[in-house]
Structure 1
Amino acid sequence: MSTTATFGFGERRDQTFLARVALPAIAAVATLAIALTAVVLFSASQANKLAGDRQQALIETVLKQRAAAVAHDQEGVTIWDEALRQVTARRPDLKWLDDNLGIWLHSYYGHDEAYVLDPAGKPLYAMRDGARIDPGRYRERVAAVAAPLIQDLVRKLEHPSLQSITVPQRTQGSYALDRVGGHPAIVSVKAILDEEGTLTPGVRPPFHVSVRRLDGSFLMELADAYQLADARFATSIPAGSARGAPLVDRTGETLGYIVWEPFGPGALMAKRIAPFAIGALVVILAMVGWLLIRIRRSTLALEASEAQA
């Protein structure tokens, strides 16, 4: 047999081995790698979605609880004989009101604004951001929001019912989400009563109005407590992976959203297992390559034996 014929036969033999053995083996490994990658990415995506859904549901529940908590904070100072006496005095002690019904609520509970109204709804005292301000500012900042809440509270007081009291509160209250000074806020109204929480029939009590803005210290506390990355207030949920909890007022209008970047456990999982997956793929490729070499050598030895025979 000539050299040219031998070379042509060897080339056809290599091509046959490549087509029948090597390429299918490489294709199988590639298919396995693609399938495993797809499974990991799909699992990571589902884990991220599930974690995001649970985090969003948690934040929406917490927002409702925090709204009720503002009213509960007020009860520490509005169910009090001395508070009722001070507010109904001919000349209320403004320093006492600072220390108990105004600035104290800002220092201890983080309330951003507080107002004390007499039974007729006239503002007697006002606090904003930890400082006493002119009570007349009440009308321009909060009156439009607080008025329907006061009316609702008066109806509850005139027709008391245990069902209208939200646990763990002791007395009726009225609160809602709305805008105050251009900021989304929780606005809560409580009646100032004696320590028994009683109301003399036919007598309208003085009122305490408290405001907690949702885009200030409240948002910072929420982000720290629940590990919300890049938490912020936005009028809409930006495109991308960001999540948002809607802030809805009592009319059903959406005031905006508390937006954050959700925690992605799936991405973290994929990042951690990627080195191991790549290492496993390299090992598999090495094993396949070694097997192909062994098969090729065995094939050549068999062909040589057949040729000699």
Structure 2
Amino acid sequence: MLWRERYSFRFRAAVVLLLPLLAVGIISGLLWWAAEKTDRIAASRQEQFIDFAVSQLRIQVAHSQESSTVWDEAVRAVEDPPRLEWIDANLGSWMHRYFRLDALFVLKPDRTPIYAFDDGAIREPTRFDRVAGAARPLLDRLQNRLRRNDTEGISDEMLSIGESDFAIVEGHPSVVSVKPVLSDTGAVTPKPGTEALHIAVRYLDSDFLDMLEQKYLVEDVQFQRKDLKGYSSSPLASEDGMSIGYLVWKPFQPGRAIFRQVMPSLIVCGLMFMAILLVLMNVLEGRSARLDVSEQALSFARSHDPVTGLPNRSQMEMALAARNDDFDVLYLDIDDFKSVTDALSLRQSEAILVEAGRRLSQLGEVYHLDSDRFILILASRTEAALRDLCERILAKIRQPLHVDSGMIALSASIGVAKALKGLVSAEEAIRRADIALYHAKAAGKGRYALFGEHMEALLQERRSLEADLRLALNSGDQFLVLYQPVFAIDGVTIVGAEALVRWRHPEKGMIAPDRFIPIAEETGGITRLGEIVLEQACLNALAWDGLVLAVNASAIELSGPRYVSMVQQTLKRTGFPAERLEIELTETALMKSDDALTTNIGALRGMGVKVALDDFGIGYSSLARLQQLPVDRLKIDKLFVDDLGADPAAEEFLATIIKLARSKGLSTTAEGIERAEQLDVLRRLGSDSLQGYLLGKPMPANAVEQLILKN
């Protein structure tokens, strides 16, 4: 028996010791495969960058010419007799210095050269003979187009027609561009086909190669007539298909470089792992498993919507920040979702969102932002492909959905916009998609709309709202402060109230906070708005003896140099006790590494003002940060209250938050209580105070006073 035990032990030990070797081998193979794939992707990206740079150079040369060729004075200068000094100063040496063009020529309509600039100096007009062979086809095409009054290609960016191509000029690979000399006002108008002609040449094997190396981080870029083995390359060809040569460079191979760096460490780690694995295997495995489950659950809860399981807004922002390419944004909203679900239970309503998310996930990268809104992020595609995709999405959403009470038919509206690298940011694309979504809904719902210039009216409406907000902040009399009561754990005794601002627009009626508060933050009006709300709230709550008044403050306000003094002056002016005031800041504001914010919070607490952390749990705060920036209360976000009574995991998670708060000496308030079973669970868990529509909706000050008297 003993030898069997020893054999079994040795066998297990051998298996355990062989596992790291096997793992190192497998990982090495996977790393090599990943390195090869990474290198291929990197090479492809470099080729795209080089192709883009060359095509852009061709456009830039034509743009550079138009800086002086579309000009009444230029038309007069090239007429007989030509004003050569003016031509040199504006169409020749200046363009060489400013736009780095290598050779420049001016021709009469009959193609007789009257000016030449080459090799950094003015030359005899006959110098044009060096370029004549490459320029002739371009001159033919351009003069034919001029005689036909062909205006194809003219736009806000391109002021005149022209012709350009790649060619070999005196052994140099070059961009050759021809432009007519035209009037910019129409005051000097030659007969079509009799315009003077301006020719620009830009060499591709000069400082252009240095620019490519510096801007696109490619190594050893050079021009070769033939493709070089072991180099990446981008072919150059003229419009008629004739090969000019190749731009070649040493390919970027990050995968192999990383592989060479990682392998020694991987081997050493494998050997070390073999030495300690027998001792620590069972302990580490158990602890690792428990830690992984806990971390994954917490990470998933923070980065995914609890109803649909889809990534949420914070996850989307992180993913978009990491992107460096063009992509399409589809903003989708389920039409009349509230009306559809009013007669359904919470579970049935959530089932609709889950099914909608599942259908959308089949088509692309989906994020669930809030309630009935989703965003799809897709690789950039053509307008026709986008329209086809939107039709398919709408068809999928329209498919009947089975719930306990029967079949439900849904519809959705979609707004579409493009994010373009260097031109349209991800945030701007989402904003445009949101505008397009409103346009789709205004057109009758169940539709999609691609963002276009015709939607700029919606932007004008926002600007109008911004202007109205400035006037309202100046007058201060258009804002109404409502108060949502906060109750003790019995759900009956009122212990405080949260001030919530509304805007009574004289023409547009009541405007919700989510429409004007972001504008106030963007324009700097949030500070003035905070002053108005704080003073009105302190005056109203002065008579509510013993009740805590909670007032929200943004990170912008809390970081401001005048915020603490403003609070002091308001308390002094209204006579409101500092110990009854509680300033609420969001978890996102807490996480800002801002010395001014930390100092201001310390000063407020030194005055006796309490500080509460609003929406706790949905951001990325840490215990360490809470210790550095102490608060008095945690307000648990509605997100974690919604599933109480239906999901045991939600109760367990909420219990953890309450225990955490108690361990730090903080009180807790649970927000968003809308059902009796939620109230029962929160009482059992011991939340210090409660808030939600089940207990009390936002109400005017006199209604709070009646509620106090009733208590």
**Which category describes the TM-score, using the shorter chain as reference length?**
0.7 to 0.9
Instruction: Specify the code of the residue in structure 2 equivalent to 1:40.
Output: L
| 1:236-288 Cα deviation digits (max 9, x unpaired) | 23222x21111111221221111112322323433454454234212222125
1:146 matches 2:160: no
Q: Under a length normalisation based on structure 1, what TM-score does the superposition of the two structures give?
A: 0.80
Partner residue in 2 for 1:298: none
Q: Which residue of 2 aligns with 1:84?
A: 75
* Identity fraction in percent: 32
Select the residue among 183, 187, 203 that pairs with 1:213.
Answer: 203
Q: Bigger CA drift: 39-48 or 164-173? A: 164-173
The runs of 5 or more residues in structure 2 that have no matched partner are 281-711
Pairwise CA distance, 1:80: 1.1
For residues 112-146 of structure 1, the C-alpha deviation after alignment (integer angstroms, 9 at most, x for no partner) is 0000101110000101122011111212x111111
Match of 2:44?
A: 53
Q: Identify the residue that residue 264 of structure 1 maps to in structure 2.
A: 253
Selected match of 2:148 from 159, 177, 180: 159
2:33 to 14, 38, 42: 42
Q: In the TM superposition, what whole-angstrom CA distance separates every residue of 1:143-164 from its partner, at most 9, and x where no partner exists?
A: 1111110111112212334433
**3-state DSSP of counterpart to 1:88:** coil
Name the CA distance, whole Å, in 1 between partners of 2:121 and 2:182: 25
Match of 1:95 in 2: 85
Out of 169-178 and 98-107, give the one that drifted further.
98-107
**Which moved further from structure 2: 261-270 or 246-255?**
261-270
| Residues 165, 173 of structure 1: 8 Å contact kept | no
Partner residue of 1:233 out of 208, 220, 223: 223
Structure 1 pair 287–196 and aligned structure 2 pair: CA distance change class (3 A) = same
**Structure 2 equivalent of residue 248 of structure 1:** 237
Partner AA of 1:51 in structure 2: A
Give a deviation string over 1:142-201, Cα, whole Å, max 9, x none.
111111101111122123344333762110000000111111100000001111367544
Aligned residue number for residue 55 of structure 2: 64
CA contact (8 A) 1:175 1:186 kept: yes
Offset, 1:42: 1.2
**Alignment partners' CA distance in 1, 2:192 and 2:63:** 25
TM-score by length of 2: 0.37
Confirm or deny: 8 A CA contact 1:106 1:129 kept in the other structure.
Answer: no
1:202–1:267 CA distance, 2 compared to 1 (3 A): closer
Please, what is the CA RMSD of the aligned residues?
Answer: 2.7
2:113 aligns with 123
Give the match for residue 183 of structure 2: 194
CA apart distance, 1:40: 1.0
**Is the 8 Å Cα contact of residues 51 and 263 (structure 1) preserved in structure 2?**
yes
Q: What is the alpha-carbon distance in structure 1 between the residues aligned to residue 243 and residue 17 of structure 2?
A: 56
Q: Quote the residue 1:302 is aligned against.
A: none
**Inter-partner Cα distance in structure 2 for 1:38 and 1:150:** 58
Structure 1 stretch displaced more, 117-126 or 245-254: 245-254
Instruction: Give 1:282's aligned residue.
Output: 271
Match of 1:133 in 2: 123
Deviations 1:29-71 (A, max 9, x none): 3222111111111111111111110121121122112111101
Mapped to 2, the partners of 1:164 and 1:73 lie a distance apart of 16
Structure 2 vs 1, CA of residues 34 and 202 (structure 1 numbering), >3 Å: closer, same or farther?
closer
Output the CA distance in 2 between the equivalents of 1:44 and 1:261: 17
CA deviation after TM superposition for structure 1 residue 84, in Å: 1.4
SS of the aligned residue for 2:176 comes to strand
1:203 and 1:63 mapped to 2: Cα distance?
30
Alignment check: 8 A CA contact 1:178 1:184 kept: yes
CA contact (8 A) 1:156 1:164 kept: no
Question: CA distance change for structure 1 residues 142 and 70 in 2, over 3 Å: closer, same or farther?
Answer: same
Distance 1:178 1:224, change over 3 A: same
Structure 1, gaps ≥5 residues long? 1-11, 292-309
Q: Give the letter aligned to residue 32 of structure 2.
A: L
> Which has the larger helix fraction?
1
Q: Which amino acid aligns with 2:96?
A: H
What is the Cα deviation at residue 99 of structure 1? 1.5
Name the count of aligned residue pairs.
277
- Cα distance in 2 between the residues matched to 1:162 and 1:123: 25
CA contact (8 A) 2:21 2:270 kept: no
**Aligned CA distance change for structure 1 residues 278 and 27 (closer, same or farther; 3 Å):** closer
Contact 2:232 2:248 in 1 (8 A): yes
